[in-house]
Amino acid sequence: MLKFAFGVLALCFTWSNDALASEDAGIFFNQIKNTKNTFSLPDSKVLVSTVKNEQVVILDNQRYVVKGKLYDLWSKSEVNSKDDIDKNKDFFPFSQLKLNAAKLLDNKVKNADYAVFIDPLNNPNETYKKVKNKLLGQKKIQLIYTVDVKSLNDEKLKRFFGFSCLIDKLDFTLENPFPDNVIPHDSPCDDRIYNTTGISMLLNITPPLIIDLSKDKIINL
């Protein structure tokens, strides 16, 4: 489990530097990969890094950093009040992240109108029905299979590995395309599982999450 977590975090930082296109974000992620520039505060998940000779506080939600003022890396804007956070809370820069679908554990739908992060181990068939109803039967839905990393343990991780061996067999013409029982595996059949889980950890994603790809906007289920 610990080895998996370190592997995922390494992917997070490598991916982040390419994905976040702004100059500030690129410099920031380059700097925090250098452990000489980054340290943790005692008894805290908060990190402090030195970027351009300026100390930056990295919160446990890596979307927000404090550099003199709170800064939203996703909308590339300073946060001066709660109104600024509320204004952009449903913004999700999926298109800016330049995610290569071939690297994600998904249902291989191209040119999708919506992306949906879904946990295949937590009532996925019920969630899938709710998503289809919410989107009024929209057919072009990219399902991205991930798990709630906050509740991830060894047992669930092995089941997720087992699920990665079944994704090519799922039939979404069925009413219940997801299998009820997944046989645990000690390792995944598809390495894309690391990329997808890494993205979920970095972006603090809790499935299910629906994104309107035309607007980069979260739709509440």
Residue 213's Cβ-side half-sphere holds a number of Cα atoms within 13 Å equal to 17
CATH number at residue 124: 3.40.30
Tell me which of 88, 114, 134 is where a domain ends: 88
Does residue 12 fall inside a structural domain? Answer: no
| pLDDT score at 186 | 95
Tokens representing residue 57 in the block: 């506080």
Q: Could you tell me if 80 and 40 lie in one domain?
A: yes
Q: Could you tell me if 54 and 145 lie in one domain?
A: no
Q: Could you tell me if 84 and 105 lie in one domain?
A: no
Distance CA 189, CA 152 (A): 19
The string of DSSP letters for 56-73 reads EEEPSSTTEEEESEEEET
Q: Could you tell me if 209 and 129 lie in one domain?
A: yes
Q: Could you tell me if 32 and 80 lie in one domain?
A: yes
Tell me which of 58, 88, 118 is where a domain ends: 88
Distance CA 60, CA 150 (A): 12
> Mean pLDDT in each 10-residue stretch from start to end of the chain (221 residues)?
51 43 52 63 70 73 74 83 86 76 80 93 94 84 90 91 92 89 93 87 87 92 86
Q: Name the E strands within the chain.
A: 38-40, 47-51, 54-58, 64-67, 69-72, 77-79, 114-118, 141-145, 209-212, 217-219
Q: Could you tell me if 175 and 114 lie in one domain?
A: yes
| pLDDT score at 218 | 93
Q: Could you tell me if 204 and 105 lie in one domain?
A: yes
| pLDDT score at 76 | 85
Terminal-residue alpha carbon distance, the chain: 31
Does residue 29 fall inside a structural domain? Answer: yes
Q: Could you tell me if 110 and 200 lie in one domain?
A: yes
The count of other CB atoms within 10 Å of the CB of residue 139 is 10
Q: Could you tell me if 64 and 146 lie in one domain?
A: no
Check whether the bond before 208 is cis (ω within 30° of 0). Answer: yes
Structural domain that includes position 55:
21-88
Does residue 50 fall inside a structural domain? Answer: yes
Q: Could you tell me if 48 and 119 lie in one domain?
A: no
Look at the chain and report how many structural domains it folds into.
2
Residue 34, judged by CB atoms within 10 A of its CB (0-12, 13-18, 19+), counts as exposed
Does residue 10 fall inside a structural domain? Answer: no
